[in-house]
Amino acid sequence: MTSFKPTRRTLLKTGTAAAALATFGPGILRHASAQDADLAPYKSAQIDWQQVSGETITVAVIPASYFENLITLAPQFKALTGIDVRFEKIPPAQIRQKSVIDLTSKTGTYATHAADPMYYALYAANKWVEPLDTYLNDKSLTDQAWFKLDDIIPAWRSANGIDGKLYGMPYDGEVTIQVYRKDLYDAKGLKPADTLEAYMSNAAALNTPNDRVWGAALRGVAGAGQNMYIYPSIFREFGGDWMKGGKLTVNGPEAEAALAWYVDIMKKYAPTAAANWNWPDIADAFSQGTVASYIDAHSSASVINNPEKSKVIGKVAYARWPKGPSGKRTTSIWNWGFPINSALPEKKRKATWLFIQWAASAETQARTAHRFAGPTKRSGVNRTSVWKDPDYIKLMNGFGENFVEAAMGALQDDTDVDWRPRVPQWPAIGDTMATAIQSALSGQATIKAALDDAQRRIEPMMRG
Amino acid sequence: MATTVVTSADIASEAPRSDFGRVLAQRERRFAAALLAPAFLALLATTTFPLLFLIYTSAFRTDLAMPFTNGFVGFENYQVLLSDERFWTSLLVSLVYTGSTVALQVIIGLALALLVMDMKRGQGWFRVIAILPVVLSPAVVGMIWRTFMLAPEFGIVDFLAINAGLGSKNWLGDPTLAMVSVIAIHTWQWTPFAFMVLLASLASLPEDIYEAARLDRASAWQRFRRITLPLLRPAIVMVIIMRTMVALTAFAAIFTVTAGGPGTATEILNLYAYRKSFTELSIGYGSALAVALLIVTIIISGILFAMRRAR
């Protein structure tokens, strides 16, 4: 199973967007066409944007508001470069399969697609995508001083690189943070947890199922982007090392302690149903006031702050991942990046690179976030400079207390490139691990047996 | 109907025209073949060719994650499969799932059909309502059950269980309950099919035999046992065969409800083949699993067909 990410949120946002567009549509459109002419910030780059004018490329994205905003700005890109971009929206559950099939068959259907950072090892091993340094170092294609690669969040860049080479340019991303109900915490005199131990005891203190409030919730449903989105952080925080002595290892004492913590908190203090929940279910339960705290992607903040559905607006605060016994905090390295399909002819590759450069540039990032004219703004911009922009901070702080500090702190200090094992065999490993975690959670196997079995199944995959 | 007697004179009178007739028949056959060809080719292209290609693929190692290891391996995938614990578990899960849903469908379907046969009014309405689950897409059924019915603390089934004093249960999170749940869902969706077929057969049973049985003072049970069941036998066997073939290859509902979980508790063989092929990207081994499923289905249906002919 692949992750089933922003469906509900997307639905909500598209709904809100459609309603808003109907109301303010004419105004927004006038605004968008006014921006068309405003290409000066791009033209200050010392490259010829029009060099492959007339090309057409297809870009696969997921139906999420952060890509919708980009699609809205696509006419500006066309005006700037003369390149036509056709967008294809594919649900997150299918985009990996579809792009892998496209890359394997070398048909070059998608010039670029929203790519999972965990897939770059697979892409690079097969030479399905281009190393981006060729394009970054080509002076006719990239004005480095204008593009400022270093400004892009380092953790996401390293997540999209293999052996120091960048294969995908981060466009939008997220970090995992603690989300908690400030009112409930204050009533009991609790503080957001600094350690996993404290997180457990907070959950215990707030767990009152008879009043329909549960202490905590973590993703429980099996899948590489689901329970295997949360568990790797805990594993790393307990001191786990995926490549112990160069050999992929998923069992052992650290893994057992990490899984035991996860199973413990899920069994004791999470709603029973959470064993089958993914992030939208958790965010929904939290916004209905039935969960006191959860740890998940910072981007779910928009769901729990949706005025139409949420009952907890104004009562939400955030903190960084609690530290593990190893003293480390480990958040996710998740981002949607854009690689270049190797199967394309040269001109189309150039066009694709120009598109990627445009989408990842600070200017476009700001125009799709706090400077976006539509109702939904992005919360996962790829640039440190935008994260420090007062307007962006103002927008983000609307999500609740301490949001920017928690997310920024996590982005800068808590990211860990080896959050998950970055090997080409990841799709199989992630699925095997996800199943093992769930069988331990459901009591189908003991923690040790589940992990040992996963190790046994993973070893032949690594032998090649 | 009047019986036509063919005499030798008739045959003799046909003889002079036979040459012409043969040519005509041949032409007609050719024309029929030409008409049939497109459909036949389409059928070959959409059923036979993919099947052959599946078998061909299963003889290769085709691992999208490690293409450098790909190549012809002969029967190796099948050898691996025989020692793959998860294959045997999923086969067992498939058999338990199929056996219990088919048995339940036939028993409940037959009971309902017998009840409805005796209904004086409202039979039509009952049929319409009963058929509803069948027309729903299994994926939709799965979503409905997962969110509205089975969610602990929030779902209808759990609400009923709490009120019945059973307490809240983790319907999809507990290995045994998850299995019971997916069996219940499949049974809920497909019992109407068995019900409709059996009802139609029941309606066609000759009334005079029952009349005679009643005169002989046969009890209701005796009538059911000695008359109804034997007469319904062909229909019941047909239902069992059709439902077995579908249940063995079930996918959508289980995929949406549990995705084979928790752990591998509800991972039927079809789901395992899917995960191997498309999640783990091991197309070769996934194909071998699919071929194994095909063989199992053929064997089981073969046995059922043989049973149908017996007696």
Residue-wise pLDDT for B117-136, tens only, equals 888 788 888 888 888 888 88
Beta carbons of B173 and A441 less than 8 Å apart: yes
Q: Which residues of A touch B152 (CB under 8 A)?
A: 271-273
- Residue A251 touches partner B, C-beta closer than 8 Å: no
- Residue B263 touches partner A, C-beta closer than 8 Å: yes
The crossing angle, in degrees rounded to 10, of helices A7-36 and A65-81 is 30
| CB-based contact A412:A402 (threshold 8 Å) | no
Which residue is it, tokens 């690189």? A161
| CB-based contact B102:B191 (threshold 8 Å) | no
Beta bridge partner(s), residue A173:
A335
Q: pLDDT confidence of B310, banded at 50, 70, 90?
A: low
Distance CA A198, CA A204 (A): 10
Beta carbons of B281 and A100 less than 8 Å apart: yes
Distance CA B173, CA B171 (A): 6
Amino acid (1-letter code) at residue A254: E
Comparing CB atoms, the residue among A222, A424, A442 nearest residue B259 is: A222
- Residue A223 touches partner B, C-beta closer than 8 Å: yes
Termini Cα distance of chain A: 22
| CB-based contact B169:B152 (threshold 8 Å) | yes
Beta carbons of A273 and B67 less than 8 Å apart: no
How far is residue A3 from each of residues A13, A96, A226, A268, measured CA to CA in Å?
19, 10, 6, 25
* pLDDT tens, residue by residue, B214-272: 899 888 899 899 899 999 998 999 999 999 999 998 998 899 888 887 888 999 999 99
- Between positions 187 and 246 of B, the ones with CB within 8 A of A are none
pLDDT at position B261: 77
Q: Which residues of A touch B280 (CB under 8 A)?
A: 427-428, 431-432, 461
On the question of pLDDT at B307 being above 90, the answer is: no
Distance CA A56, CA A109 (A): 11
Comparing CB atoms, the residue among B67, B152, B178 nearest residue A126 is: B67
Beta bridge partner(s), residue A291:
A214
| CB-based contact A440:A261 (threshold 8 Å) | no
- Residue B66 touches partner A, C-beta closer than 8 Å: yes
Beta carbons of B173 and A273 less than 8 Å apart: yes
| CB-based contact B239:B197 (threshold 8 Å) | yes
On the question of pLDDT at B4 being above 70, the answer is: no
- Between positions 136 and 155 of B, the ones with CB within 8 A of A are 146, 151-154
Distance CA B189, CA B253 (A): 10
Please enumerate in sequence order all residues whose Cβ is within 8 A of that of A272, keeping only pairs 6 or more positions apart, or say none: B152, B153, B168, B170, B173
Closest CA to A213 of A248, A188, A241, A238: A188
| Interface contacts (A, B; CB < 8 Å) | 107
Neighbouring CB atoms inside 10 A of A208's CB total 12
Beta carbons of B279 and A442 less than 8 Å apart: no
Q: Residue-wise over B16-40: b if at least 16 C-beta within 10 A, else e? A: eeeeeeeeeeeeeeeeeeeeeeeee
Predicted confidence pLDDT, tens digits, chain A (464 residues): 334 444 444 444 444 544 544 444 444 444 454 455 589 999 999 999 999 999 999 999 999 889 999 999 999 999 999 999 999 999 887 888 889 889 988 889 999 999 999 999 999 988 999 999 999 999 999 999 999 999 999 999 999 999 889 999 999 999 999 999 999 999 999 999 999 999 999 999 999 999 999 999 999 988 888 999 999 999 999 999 999 988 999 999 999 999 999 999 999 999 988 988 888 889 999 999 999 999 999 988 888 988 888 999 999 999 999 999 999 999 998 999 999 999 999 999 999 999 999 999 999 999 999 999 887 788 899 999 999 999 999 988 889 999 999 999 999 899 888 899 988 888 889 999 999 999 999 988 999 999 999 999 999 888 75
DSSP class of residue B225 equals: I
Distance from CA of B74 to the nearest CA of A (A): 17
Closest CA to B84 of B272, B260, B279: B272
- Residue B114 touches partner A, C-beta closer than 8 Å: no
Comparing CB atoms, the residue among B151, B153, B262 nearest residue A439 is: B262
Distance from CA of B278 to the nearest CA of A (A): 7
Comparing CB atoms, the residue among B154, B259, B281 nearest residue A428 is: B281
pLDDT at position B174: 86
- Between positions 86 and 115 of A, the ones with CB within 8 A of B are 97, 100, 104
Beta bridge partner(s), residue A58:
A86
Beta strands in A122-273 (DSSP E): 161-162, 165-166, 169-173, 176-181, 243-244, 247-248
Q: Which residues of A touch B67 (CB under 8 A)?
A: 104, 126
Environment class of residue B127 by beta-carbon count within 10 Å: exposed (0-12), middle (13-18) or buried (19+)? Answer: middle
Q: Which residues of A touch B262 (CB under 8 A)?
A: 222, 275, 438-439, 441-442, 444
Closest CA to B248 of B90, B123, B134: B90
Environment class of residue A183 by beta-carbon count within 10 Å: exposed (0-12), middle (13-18) or buried (19+)? Answer: middle
Mean pLDDT, residues B70-95 = 92
DSSP class of residue A344 equals: S
Q: To the nearest whole number, what is the mean pLDDT of chain B?
A: 87
pLDDT at position A37: 55
Q: Which residues of A touch B279 (CB under 8 A)?
A: 1-2, 224, 427-428, 431
Environment class of residue A392 by beta-carbon count within 10 Å: exposed (0-12), middle (13-18) or buried (19+)? Answer: buried
Distance from CA of A458 to the nearest CA of B (A): 11
pLDDT at position B40: 92
| CB-based contact A400:A316 (threshold 8 Å) | yes
Distance CA A430, CA B148 (A): 29
Question: For an interface test with B, which of A276, A282, A455, A458 has the most B Cβ atoms less than 10 Å from its Cβ?
Answer: A276
Amino acid (1-letter code) at residue B200: A
- Residue B281 touches partner A, C-beta closer than 8 Å: yes
Distance CA A291, CA B174 (A): 22
Comparing CB atoms, the residue among A100, A272, A445 nearest residue B263 is: A445
Question: For an interface test with A, which of B159, B280, B282, B285 has the most A Cβ atoms less than 10 Å from its Cβ?
Answer: B280
Beta strands in A3-100 (DSSP E): 56-61, 84-89
Beta carbons of B263 and A424 less than 8 Å apart: no
Angle at the Cα of A338 from the Cα atoms of A335 and A341, rounded to 5 degrees: 140
Comparing CB atoms, the residue among A100, A444, A461 nearest residue B64 is: A100
The residue ranking higher by pLDDT, A202 or B3, is: A202
Distance CA A296, CA A276 (A): 15
